[in-house]
Structure 1
Amino acid sequence: MHIFTSIRNALVPVHRAGYPFIAGFFVIAVVLGFLWQPLFWIFLILTVWCAYFFRDPERVTPVADHLVVSPADGHVSLVGHVLPPAELDLGTDPMLRISVFMNVFDCHINRAPMRGRIARIAYREGAFKNAELDKASEVNERNGIVIDGPKGEIGVVQIAGLVARRIVCWNKVEDRIEAGERFGLIRFGSRLDVYLPEGARARVAEGQRAVAGETILAEFGEHLASWPARRD
């Protein structure tokens, strides 16, 4: 019984959005395997990778109105104050932006950084540059969500990357969403930008790993100071 429990705990659920892709890769593997056996093994490996890409593990989210959790798995690529995208309608003053870059091996399920009401959703067509570049927030295809939460309006932007060709958002305007709740995904390799209003202090540094729904990206508070960071 202990062995079966360990196996069950080790298996990570796969999101249903990945089922068509997993099935497609497997069918291709079988068909091509009749033509040349090595092709079967190549596409079988791709099938396993596809299942891994669409994994949807459970997360333990810290629930507090002054905390901002990461919307994505990956590494923190940018932390700084910049102007938010015009389509989000968040004003013309710089806001704290924290970017999390996802490579093709990261879990790509996106989660809400704070609770609140979805006030606006703005999709914009664009290029497919490397999402790790700073200019990707301006030129790449993206989908922006504005959440009206306890600390005001925050922006969450799904940015397509060099390989990504599809941004998925499951929510709609006026939906209520909880911190850590799943709201979408991006296929395959991309970035999430979070725009935070005055009063937010970053709690991560560039290069740090982030876990969607668990890692605290920022914190709100009148007397909070920024935390220094070092690389060792």
Structure 2
Amino acid sequence: MIAKEGFPFIIGALVAFFVLWLIPKGLLMAVAFFLFAMFLWFFRDPERDIPPYDDIAVSGADGKVIDIEETEVDGIAYRKVSVFMNLFNVHVNRMPIAGDITKIVHKPGEYVPADRPDAPLRNEQNIIHVDTKYGKMIVKQIAGLVARRTVCYWNVGDHVHYGDRLGIIKFSSRVDHFLPVSFDILVKKGDTVKAGESVLAKYTGTGGE
């Protein structure tokens, strides 16, 4: 399966390839075909085996865990897990915990490398607020050095199940998960995770919202 956001890029590269093939221009044809293949690879959207467990939070992104910390947003405590995606990762994001989307804020910004500590403060991003049965959760889709657009598939008021496709970030980027403190984090920095499959944390019933 291919994410729908990739079709303009894929079709454009394919059209360029065939136009250049008719001319022909060998090197330009090769470049067009390379772009076509690259866009097909980048916008792939594979099915995932969602873990059939209760009281878990799955990763919202493919990539590497680059930061784990306890933090506060608007006076609410969270356990934050940041996952960095490189150009070779699947960039379709998944919902970490089931819940109702209460607010989506798009924040324009810069495009510094997404693995930098200041990227969540400076870069273009979507901030998605979710009410879950465990408390409030926030998912941040953060653009990176190459990324230029964050896309959320859902709207305020929608109920989303964990593991559902949440959106996509075009090219390398990161996802920050702000989980309720009633969850224990099960991953560590440097771990490689898959969106919708890897379990980031488990609900313990302690710590409150």
Q: Does 1:69 align with 2:58?
A: yes
Point out the more displaced range, 208-217 or 27-36: 27-36
Give unpaired runs (5+ residues) of structure 2.
none
Aligned to 1:153: 136
Aligned to 1:42: 31
Identity rate of aligned residues, in percent? 38
Q: Any idea what the Cα deviations from partners look like across 1:34-91, whole Å, max 9, x if unmatched?
A: 262111112201111101111111111124442000011111111112333xxxxxx2
| Contact residue 153 and residue 197 of structure 1 kept, 8 A | yes
Q: Any idea what the Cα deviations from partners look like across 1:94-150, whole Å, max 9, x if unmatched?
A: 421101111111111111001111111111111101000111111111101111112
| Contact residue 110 and residue 184 of structure 1 kept, 8 A | yes
Aligned match for 1:199, one of 182, 187, 192: 182
Alpha-carbon distance in 1 for matches of 2:3, 2:143: 19
Aligned to 1:220: 203
| Contact residue 65 and residue 151 of structure 1 kept, 8 A | no
| Contact residue 124 and residue 149 of structure 2 kept, 8 A | no
Write out the 4+ residue segments of structure 1 that deviate beyond 4 Å after TM superposition.
none
Scaled by the length of structure 1, the TM-score of the pair is 0.84
Which structure shows the bigger proportion of residues in strand conformation?
A: 2
Q: Does 1:111 align with 2:89?
A: no
Output the aligned Cα RMSD. 1.6
Q: Does 1:15 align with 2:9?
A: no
Alpha-carbon distance in 1 for matches of 2:181, 2:27: 57
Alpha-carbon distance in 2 for matches of 1:66, 1:173: 23
Distance 1:149 1:64, change over 3 A: farther
Q: Number of matched residues? A: 206
| Contact residue 163 and residue 195 of structure 2 kept, 8 A | yes
